[in-house]
Structure 1
Amino acid sequence: MEVTVLFSVFIAGLILGIPVAITLGLSSLSYLMLAGIPAVVIPQKIYAGMDVFVLLSIPGFILAGNLMNRGGITNRIIRFANALVGWVRGGLGLTNIAASMLFGGITGTAVADAASIGGVMIPGMKKAGYPADFSAAVTAASSTVGPIIPPSVPMIIVGALSGISVGQMFLAGAVPGILMGVAMMVTCYVISVRRNFPRQAWQGFGEVARSFSGAVWALAMTGLIIYGLLSGLATPTETAVVASVYAFIVGAFIYRELPLRAVPTIIIDSAIASAGILTLVGFANVFGWILVSEQIPQAIADSVLSLTDNKFLVILIINVLLLFVGMFMETIAALIILFVPLLSLAQAVGIEPLHFATFAVLNLMIGLTTPPVGVCLFVCANIARLPLSPVVRAIFPFLLTNIAVLLAVSFIPALATWLPSVLAP
């Protein structure tokens, strides 16, 4: 009875559009009241969920990304990407994807990528003669690379939930992220050739060198983050703090585009964004504790294993489930609720935790571009001043491409585990 009410309130909240954090809290409270458990459990579990040292890195990485974005990084990265690939047919689309790959290594969030890159690239592509729906679609699709290429906020969440090294998670996402970017570039090129999209003249190696020198300080930030983690000199939290200081120095004193008077506002905005994520983590921990106490994870594992214990079929079932959930639920909430139960199932059939974590995050990133709750779709459609439906139609080829990469990563573990095994301490 109590479990039925728990899920009924949760589903009803999602249908009504109530924020996921509040929905988790209301459904958990309903369960506790029916079960006769004191409500004091809620603040206790919320605090326990947020009291994880590695989660402190989230505000740091969000602040670093905001500082670099306000400090002139977006235009420099776009210029460098355009110098590299802008001369190919459909070059601005390729530039869009390349910029997202480079930008994702700094912000670690897809929505920040979609808003920042999209705010520049979508109007630019429309002006150059690209259809508005294609411009929005390629921006939304490429933004999902951000949380795969390190640093990655969802991967930090996964590390906190499972105990997997965040440094290893970051490395595990590098190859899949590059594969996604390259695959989307191929798709973009094929569409551009078929539809005869414009291209611009080759600007020469001089422009490549000049644009690289302008972007090198921004690009070096990813190297700083990875080096700090791999060398053992800093924890993820300490690395995030160093990255924030670095971003401030580069934006304010090297690029000189970050006004000091803007810093307090950036800090406040970063704190608000971080608070939203951590609140979600806290309420989801209450919900997760209830699921564990009711042995829901074990029930899920037993149900699937009663159908099959074939490793490849289980991987396929997990992917189908996560793709479906990603259509309706925000990424971090889905990870917090489903990751631990599905990890138990994955380990039961011999799937390595690092491999599972990588394709689970990649899967839910694709959900950011699927209706009806694809946040990046809404952001890019709004920038392009279009209704959602034409953008959904235009993004379909990119969705197929990303799902193909997802399946490759899911069924070829080395794509996720090889780099961490070589570089991780």
Structure 2
Amino acid sequence: MLFTATFIFCLFIGVPIFATLGIPAVIELLRSPIPLVTLSQNLFTGVDQFPLLAIPCFILAGGIMIRSEITNEIIEVMNILVGKIPGGLAVVTVFSCMFFAAISGSGPGTTAAIGSIMIPAMLRKGYQVDFAGAVSASGGALGVIIPPSNPMIVYGVLANVSIADLFIAGVVPGMLLGLAMIAVCLFTGITKGYAADQEPFSIRRLLRAINRGKFSIFMPFLILGGIYLGIFTPTEASVVAVLYALFVGFVVKRIFTFKAFWDSLSETSLICGGLVLIMGTAMFFGRFLALEQVPQKIANIILSISKDPTILLIVITLFLMAIGTFMETLSTVIILTPIFLPILKILGINPIHFGIIFVVTNEIGFLTPPLGVNLFVACGLTKRTLEQISIKMIPFIIAICITLLILIYFPKITLFLPELMRGR
């Protein structure tokens, strides 16, 4: 009881998440016969996980690509392909976010990289500034579902499932989410009369754009193709991503500087430093969750609602959506994965399917106050308030929720590619 009360109190008063995880566990440790050396051992083993090396490398690769202005070439190709339909620039934004997400694995990073270019372009074509910000924020949220995805890596480590399987399982759901967002853009473009690109489509123009950006466009195929073909592991792929990004920035484009490289390293260290603290204390926290039998107690409560796995998965999803509005994504994954894993086993839910559902629900958290990380990035790019952008975000959130229901009721959408790859 003291363990749970302390955790809730720390969370409620806004104690940093690593301390929120650590303080209740330390109090419980002092009250138990377990030696104090257990604390240092768990802190070490929590971060001594080889797959976690992929996170800083993917973040670094994304930072290098942003500073090498790779996004311009991606956007040019997408604009030629789909820019002529109503609301074309909004559709281009979503498509570009989908493509860039396969490089960075970061939601806020994708929003910043694509939004910084597409928001001014949309405003020049007469798009409402609030809508332009909402499109960029929602498209950026695809960065956590389209592989490589940093939350998927953390979930894979904690749930002891294949990260490569999680990555490939996220491909179709990521595309469905992207198409749902594009449907919102098309409807808005038609009803609001947002102009399409007036330049006529030309195969020659498209081929020239692809040729100019061939090194940038090739990167996602190199990384994801290498993983799915078994050439290298996700962790090795992250290192390949960094090396390839450096090659494109320094050798091909020749605009990437050592100062930009230092800035990329600094940004990566700031992001990952917090993750190291959280992962260490999370392992320690998880041990005392087991001692307190918290997963079993929560499982009993959830199982008392219904015996239908689909109904219970919807209940869990609603809970995760509520939590995701005020808790950072990686923190949510780290805290709740050990709690829900025993429930998954009882219900017979595939942990890979649940992992994708988990990540998609966190995607909604990127777009809803008070956390809404992507919203804050979009607000900074548009100079609008959180409330103004949030109102225009509602249709996109509805589209995500509909897609989420489809994924819950039809798990084969998530699982057929991993099963196909294992059976090849």
- TM (norm. structure 1) is 0.94
1:41 match: 38
Deviations 1:132-156 (A, max 9, x none): 1101111111111112111111111
User: Distance in 1 between the 2:123 and 2:277 partners?
Assistant: 38
Deviations 1:37-82 (A, max 9, x none): 5554333222111111111111111111111111121111111111
Deviations 1:373-407 (A, max 9, x none): 11111111121111111111100000000111111
Question: Comparing 18-27 with 288-297, which one deviates more in the overlay?
Answer: 18-27
Matches within 5 A, 1:22-421: 22-33=19-30, 35=32, 39-205=36-202, 206-421=204-419
Pairwise CA distance, 1:22: 3.3
Counterpart contact for 1:108–1:153, Cα < 8 Å: yes
Deviations 1:356-383 (A, max 9, x none): 1111111111111011111111111121
Letter in 2 for 1:298: Q
Counterpart contact for 2:176–2:403, Cα < 8 Å: yes
Counterpart contact for 2:7–2:20, Cα < 8 Å: no
Counterpart contact for 1:9–1:27, Cα < 8 Å: no
Letter in 1 for 2:138: A
Question: Comparing 221-230 with 151-160, which one deviates more in the overlay?
Answer: 221-230
User: Distance in 2 between the 1:289 and 1:29 partners?
Assistant: 11
Are residues 3 and 131 of structure 1, via their aligned partners in 2, closer, same or farther at CA, if it must alter by over 3 Å?
A: same
Deviations 1:249-304 (A, max 9, x none): 01111122212443233223222222222222222222222212211111111211
User: Distance in 2 between the 1:183 and 1:202 partners?
Assistant: 26
User: Is 1:11 matched up with 2:11?
Assistant: yes
Counterpart contact for 2:353–2:415, Cα < 8 Å: yes
Pairwise CA distance, 1:347: 2.4
Letter in 2 for 1:9: F
Question: Comparing 350-359 with 272-281, which one deviates more in the overlay?
Answer: 272-281
User: Distance in 2 between the 1:402 and 1:379 partners?
Assistant: 20
User: Distance in 1 between the 2:319 and 2:18 partners?
Assistant: 21
Deviations 1:327-357 (A, max 9, x none): 1100110011112222221221121111111
Question: Comparing 88-97 with 194-203, which one deviates more in the overlay?
Answer: 194-203
User: Distance in 2 between the 1:340 and 1:52 partners?
Assistant: 16
Pairwise CA distance, 1:166: 0.8
User: Distance in 1 between the 2:10 and 2:289 partners?
Assistant: 13
Counterpart contact for 2:131–2:392, Cα < 8 Å: yes
Counterpart contact for 1:93–1:188, Cα < 8 Å: yes
Are residues 31 and 115 of structure 1, via their aligned partners in 2, closer, same or farther at CA, if it must alter by over 3 Å?
A: farther
Counterpart contact for 2:325–2:372, Cα < 8 Å: yes
Are residues 33 and 230 of structure 1, via their aligned partners in 2, closer, same or farther at CA, if it must alter by over 3 Å?
A: same
Are residues 29 and 81 of structure 1, via their aligned partners in 2, closer, same or farther at CA, if it must alter by over 3 Å?
A: same
Q: Please give the secondary structure, in 2, of the residue aligned with 1:369.
A: coil
User: Distance in 1 between the 2:124 and 2:24 partners?
Assistant: 48
Q: Please give the secondary structure, in 1, of the residue aligned with 2:153.
A: helix
User: Distance in 2 between the 1:40 and 1:372 partners?
Assistant: 38
User: Distance in 1 between the 2:265 and 2:350 partners?
Assistant: 38
User: Distance in 2 between the 1:68 and 1:86 partners?
Assistant: 23
RMSD of Structure 2 on Structure 1 (CA) = 1.8
User: Distance in 1 between the 2:120 and 2:26 partners?
Assistant: 46
User: Distance in 1 between the 2:135 and 2:404 partners?
Assistant: 18
Letter in 1 for 2:38: V
User: Distance in 2 between the 1:218 and 1:203 partners?
Assistant: 24
Q: Please give the secondary structure, in 1, of the residue aligned with 2:198.
A: coil
Pairwise CA distance, 1:33: 4.1
Question: Comparing 219-228 with 66-75, which one deviates more in the overlay?
Answer: 219-228
Structure 1 portions without partners, runs of 5+: none
Counterpart contact for 2:11–2:17, Cα < 8 Å: no
Pairwise CA distance, 1:96: 0.8
Deviations 1:213-258 (A, max 9, x none): 2333222222222232233332222121111111110111112221
Pairwise CA distance, 1:167: 0.7
Deviations 1:66-121 (A, max 9, x none): 11111121111111111111111111111110110000000001010111111112
Letter in 1 for 2:26: L
